[in-house]
Chains A and B, each alone.
Chain A
Amino acid sequence: MADAVDLLHDPGAPLPPLPGHSSRGRLERVLRDGKFAVTAELNPPDSADPEEVYDRALVLSEVCDAINATDASGANTHMSSVGISSLLTRAGYAVVMQFSCRDRNRIAIQGDVLGAAAMGVANILCLTGDGVQAGDQPEAKPVFDLDSMSLLQTIRTMRDERRFLSGRKITKPPLVFLGAAANPFAPPYEYRAVHMGKKIAAGAQFIQTQYCFDLPIFERFMARARELGLHERCFILAGVGPLASARAAKWMRAHVPGIHIPDAVIARLEGAANQKAEGKRLCIELIQQIREIKGVAGVHVMAYRQEELVSEIIQQSGIMQSRRARERPTAAGQISRYRPSETNR
């Protein structure tokens, strides 16, 4: 009896299953409902303190439908995505757990997928991962036993066919909504949309793109995606983020793999009296322009060490206002603010 009551009030409990949905998470519902979705990246702490994760999640949760837990991005060690995801789901946050192929072989990956799903993770983003040379431990062994494509296929097999790659049965499959990354801003440009189509064929149900600072390239990519009908087969979330300064932008362009920032953007930041404010303004403008592009289902905000800006950016972009106009009030906002430390102590 007590268990039943607890379950009702457990914010980490999955939502009731819905027909046509792969997962029991919030993000898939928002997207399938046709709402313009917002996801945001949480900068993982270099610490074993759960409060650092909750502090950062709290700032993001006001405006986003799911929080991305990164997996040693840039090949730098931080708290693991499985760990962060577990903490967040316990507190009722919707999480997109990022999963890279750089550090684990297929045996570890399949085990972590089951573990994460058992902890309430409803969304997994399948990534190849940055090379080890990009991080602070270039002497590490790169694994890459699977690639993002075979990772998607592997998890889809586990979910839909209820078996491991070996064929061994899984009694309760991981009910996850599967995502993948796309980078329209790296060569070979004409292959990028086709490549995204291949990821969709491998199992991707949503896409989060690399940072978009070059609208013309993104528009060409989306035009090609629409030609191929990809926007009807998956939800495409465009990656955006505020640049802290012209110097930070130049550093990112030179050191973070796959980031393309046009010279005009850097010149605009250099010309501004307050570069941080200009970076934020630029991000808001981009969101508003991206929103008008047909086939874009949402934005994914990556505010490196500027999480406090995410809420303002989303509020000022006007996305939430237009969404709220057609939304019924839900308890989601309150749920996302729940912290186990507040009640359990």
Chain B
Amino acid sequence: MYALRHWSVRHARALERTYALVERVLIGLAPVFAKVGFERVEPAVTATERSVKTLLFDCKMCGQCILSDTGMSCPMNCPKSLRNGPCGGVRPNGHCEVKPEMKCVWVAAWDGSQRMAEGSKILDLQPPVDHRFWGRSSWLRVARQKGAPEGPPAHG
């Protein structure tokens, strides 16, 4: 939702703290997820993630969330899906070149990042989107990567 999207940027600091908490819970749950099977919990987690993040950020479910690096402004709302900063076409009023009625997501991102404790992460270089992850859960991926790291395949 457009209005809520801007509320989220204004409250980037609080959301940063909230997400840190959510992430800790997810990592804590990782062994449970692993036991039940990540594939089996994916539909439920994805549905929850989709509804919360669509409401707050107009999330597009790219499946490789970088909201914590982009001032809580979702870069996938950029018509050019830029993940590394604004293009040169931003209008003098800070609105988008392609969608004049929308505030540039990167103008918002810079604003949000200034409010965050780890706002300097906006300078991290982001790799190109992996298009295989669309529609899948970022939360579960974090839980799997940080909470239940898969060791090297056992031999013998």
Contact = CB atoms under 8 A, between A and B. Distances in A.
A188 B82 contact: no
A260 B89 contact: no
Given A142-B79, A149-B85, A258 B123 contact: no
A181 B126 contact: no
B127 A150 contact: yes
Contacts of B110: 188, 190-191
A309 B88 CA distance: 26
Interface in B124-142: 125-129, 131
A145 B128 contact: yes
Nearest to A202: B125
B90 interface: yes
A35 interface: no
A169 to B, nearest CB: 20
A294 B101 CA distance: 38
Interface string A78-102: 0000000000000000000000011
A130 interface: yes
Contacts of B125: 149-150, 153, 198, 201-202
A210 interface: yes
A62 interface: no
Interface string B71-100: 000000001111111111111111001100
Contact of A187 (B85, B104, B131): B104
Contacts of A149: 83-85, 125-126
Contacts of B57: none
B58 to A, nearest CB: 18
Contacts of A165: 128
B107 interface: yes
A144 interface: yes
Contacts of B111: 188
A119 interface: no
Contacts of B92: 186-187, 260
Given A186-B86, A186-B88, A186-B89, A258 B127 contact: no
A334 interface: no
B88 A188 contact: no
Contacts of B107: 187-188
Contacts of A130: 89, 97
B106 interface: yes
A128 B86 CA distance: 10
A106 B129 CA distance: 11
Interface of B: 79-94, 97-98, 104, 106-107, 110-111, 123, 125-129, 131
| Top-4 shortest CB links A-B | A183-B88, A257-B89, A149-B84, A131-B98
